[in-house]
């Protein structure tokens, strides 16, 4: 029985060698993807915390409004907005890139037919 135990031990050590081998380091692309995933995860946690904070505030206000002998409310920090999602950018149209610099004071065109316009104004 002793020899079978030794053989089993040697076989398990021989098979465990490849398991303990080092993996190659991650590529720059994999590192960037991991960092982006971590940033999105952290932002999602902030959004969830903000939602919970708002719900707690509403519940506390409703409780103090409904109960006459409610203890005084403890001061709590204000709910903090999580901000925009990481990597999120506004589309060009929504960012105001096509907006005129000032409010228009006259229409962009006139009712004058092209035949009556001065020669330099025709296109």
Report how far residue 77's alpha carbon sits from residue 75's, in angstroms, rounded to the nearest whole number: 7
Looking at residue 1, its pLDDT comes to 57
Q: In this predicted structure, what is the pLDDT of residue 77?
A: 84
- On whether residue 119 sits in a domain, the answer given is no
In the chain, the number of structural domains is: 1
Per-residue DSSP letter, 93: T
Kindly state whether residue 53 falls inside one of the protein's structural domains: yes
In a domain, 49, yes or no: yes
pTM of the shown model: 0.51
Tokens of 115: 């035949």
Q: Give me the pLDDT at residue 51, please.
A: 95
Torsion, Cα of 52, 58, 59, 62 (10° steps):
180
Domain that holds residue 35: 28-66
pLDDT, averaged per 10 consecutive residues of the chain (123 residues), comes to: 79 72 88 93 94 92 86 84 79 57 63 72 55
Which pLDDT score is estimated for 103?
65
Query: Considering the domain boundaries, does residue 47 fall inside one?
Result: yes
In which element (H, E) is residue 41 found? Answer: helix 28-66
Q: Is residue 40 part of a domain?
A: yes
Among residues 54, 74, 50, which one has the least CA distance to residue 64? 74
């Amino acid at each position: 029985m002793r020899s079978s135990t030794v053989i089993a031990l040697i076989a398990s050590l021989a098979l465990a060698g490849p398991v303990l081998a080092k993996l190659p380091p991650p590529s720059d692309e994999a590192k960037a993807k991991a960092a982006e995933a971590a940033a999105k995860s952290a932002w999602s946690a902030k959004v969830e915390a903000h939602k919970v904070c708002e719900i707690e505030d509403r519940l506390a206000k409703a409780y103090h409004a409904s109960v006459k002998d409610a203890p005084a409310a403890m001061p709590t920090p204000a709910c903090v907005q999580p901000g925009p999602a990481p990597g999120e950018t506004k589309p060009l149209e929504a960012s105001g890139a096509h907006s005129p610099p000032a409010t228009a004071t006259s229409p962009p065109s006139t009712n004058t037919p092209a035949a009556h316009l001065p020669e330099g104004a025709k296109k």
